[in-house]
């Protein structure tokens, strides 16, 4: 990679994550600052504006967020940007104008090839986390962070969802043992009314 740009969307406190990324080797950072709750589609639209401005060859996102845990933003970004997508990447290899993404599926591993530019969402096994060195942390504190607002980018952050009600699931009843198949059929027909 000739340049690594770290991007985050969130309140001012989110800049701490960007400083960590800069200390770990990112060249630049962009912070889309908002105190509003950002839904998956809104995040994808904001990231699309960043992708339009920066023109990256490869856009890498986490698999899921720690807030709504929807696993949607990467896929929505790929659709909005018209790029190929590789999800749940456990291994990534870039060769020329193509990227090969290996992902874990129920039956083993699957490898897909994508033309660059592309969007990839990561899995836990993609890399080995490491700690930033103290000199790099000090250097990262001096690096500028490009702060933008959603309004600057022409994207409305207002939530389109509203929570109507949250309730616990109904308490489950204990099971019943039956002595015969005939008794089971009778209970399913007359008590549970699941068969006619």
Q: What pLDDT, on a 0 to 100 scale, did the predictor assign at position 129?
A: 78
Vertex 129: Cα angle to 127 and 133 (nearest 5): 135
Q: What pLDDT, on a 0 to 100 scale, did the predictor assign at position 67?
A: 60
Does 35 map to a domain?
A: yes
Neighbours of 129 (CB within 10 A): 6
Does 57 map to a domain?
A: yes
Question: pTM of the entire structure?
Answer: 0.77
Digit-coded pLDDT (tens) for 8-20: 999 999 999 999 9
Residue 138's CATH number: 3.40.50.620
Mean pLDDT of the chain: 90
Residue 190 · residue 182 · CB < 8 Å: no
Digit-coded pLDDT (tens) for 47-72: 999 999 999 999 999 887 766 678 88
Does 173 map to a domain?
A: no
Residues 6+ apart with CB under 8 A from 100: 92, 93, 94, 111, 112, 113, 114
Does 193 map to a domain?
A: no
Q: With both helix axes pointing from N to C terminus, report the angle between 40-54 and 73-81 in degrees, rounded to the nearest 10.
A: 50
Digit-coded pLDDT (tens) for 69-106: 788 899 999 999 999 999 999 999 999 999 999 998 88
Q: How many domains does the structure of the chain reveal?
A: 1
């Amino acid at each position: 990679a000739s340049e690594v740009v770290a991007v985050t969307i969130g309140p001012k406190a989110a800049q701490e994550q960007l400083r960590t990324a800069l200390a770990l080797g990112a060249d630049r950072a962009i912070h889309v600052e908002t105190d509003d709750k950002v839904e998956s589609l809104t995040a994808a639209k904001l990231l699309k504006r960043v992708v339009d401005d920066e023109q990256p060859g490869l856009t890498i996102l986490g698999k899921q967020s720690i807030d709504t845990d929807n696993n949607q933003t990467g896929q929505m970004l790929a659709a909005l940007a018209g790029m190929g997508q590789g999800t749940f990447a456990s291994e990534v290899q870039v060769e020329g104008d193509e990227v090969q993404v290996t992902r874990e599926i129920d039956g083993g591993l699957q490898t897909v090839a994508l033309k660059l530019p592309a969007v990839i969402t990561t899995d836990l096994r993609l890399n080995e986390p490491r700690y930033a060195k103290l000199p790099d942390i000090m250097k990262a504190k001096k690096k500028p962070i490009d702060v933008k607002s959603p309004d600057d980018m022409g994207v409305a952050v207002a939530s389109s969802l509203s929570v109507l009600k949250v309730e616990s699931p109904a308490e489950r009843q204990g099971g019943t043992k039956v002595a015969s198949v005939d008794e089971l059929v009778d209970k399913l027909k007359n008590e549970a009314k699941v068969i006619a």
